[in-house]
Amino acid sequence: MVDEQAPVPRLVELDVLRGFALGGILLVNIIVMSGPWAFPDGVLLPVLEALFHNKFYVLFSFLFGYSLTMQFRAAERAGVSGRARTVRRCLALMALGAVHAVFFFIGDVLFGYGAIGLILLLLSGLRPRAAVWAAGGLLGFAAVAMTVMILLTDVEGGSTDPSEHTRDLDAMRAGWGEAAAWRWEQFSGNMPQYLVFGVVAVLPLFLLGLAAGKIRLLEDPARYLGWLPRVQLIGFGVGAPVSILGALFHWPLLAGPSLLTAPLLSAAYAATLLRVLHARPRVAEIFAPAGKIAGTTYISQSVITSLIFTGYGFALAGRLNDWAIGAIALAIYATQLYLARIYVRRHRYGPIEWLLRAVTYGPRQFRRAPTAVAP
């Protein structure tokens, strides 16, 4: 039986998975970072759609829900309100996400994580089994709704307006003021759809992470290592074919199944990495440092790509082919992994982590050494 009062050490598995997910997130995000709508036509876009799109935010969202349970346990040990801490953290994420979306990257997830995190807080009392059922129900609804929407759009014959594309591209290449105004227009105008998508497609992943955290799934390798081959078999055997077919043919009827099976492929990726980690523990040295400062790593990806693609720097949006953009993403990620490894040797927190912890726990917590490291 699991001891619910046991100390909660920092889990290297969570940091490794976060650090790994950040690479996939960048490869997907750079599609939008490098131009207002999508990559230039080429081979790379279908590859990213098949293997990366809607796969790594799934993993990151699961880890968010898992971490919430660890934060609650840390608050319980400290004798303070875990709910109050979580509210402060979510509000800080929303504020940070709004700034990030307006000034750097319109595809920000932090605002949504903060907003949906408040809903997760309301549901945090669910038992693990109930959380899994709720997640399944929401994902099923999202799959049906997405399929219907895509079928209706296909029937109505949605079209791309070249003049709108040109306007958006010019805004990306503009300076701070014009670019920020364009991003604010996009951010505020799409807010209702953004939050609805978060409730039906992101909240379920939070709930799955919450359920896993409540049973401390990743805190005892003996409990999950034996299941990993089966997770890989299902994920690669079911999730991968559906994802590949959807990316190659864009059949509307695959929209719903793709949403449902994306977590299966994400789980297969995670299972593969965990098996490698336990066979070769030094793999942690590659990914865990970036995972420890995940917020800083995520924001810095947007800052760097803004300098490359927007008017803040070289204004290369829409001017590079797909392989050049993909190479830039890999170079950024490899550099971040290297620099994160150096950084965490000297610093306990990244700048974004420091800010979030200061809001969550209060600035005085940095002046005392905690007995256990909170996630």
Average pLDDT for 48-58: 91
The per-residue pLDDT for range 307-362, each reduced to its tens digit, is 999 988 999 988 888 899 999 999 999 999 999 999 999 999 999 999 999 998 87
CA angle 283, 284, 287 (to 5 degrees): 95
| pTM exceeds 0.75 | yes
Lowest mean pLDDT among 37-46, 195-204, 316-325: 37-46
One-letter identity of residue 115: A
Average pLDDT for 206-226: 92
Specify the residue for token string 């997405």: 146
Give the burial class of 275: count Cβ atoms within 10 A of its Cβ; 0-12 exposed, 13-18 middle, 19 or more buried: middle
CA gap 110, 294 in Å, rounded: 12
Backbone angles phi, psi at 350, to 5 degrees: -80, 170
Q: For residue 189, is pLDDT > 80?
A: yes
The torsion of the CA quartet 90, 94, 99, 103, rounded to 10 degrees, works out to 120
The torsion of the CA quartet 218, 222, 223, 229, rounded to 10 degrees, works out to 90
The per-residue pLDDT for range 118-152, each reduced to its tens digit, is 999 999 999 999 999 999 999 999 999 888 888 78
**Secondary structure (DSSP) of 140-163:** HHHHHHHHHHHHHHHHHT----HH
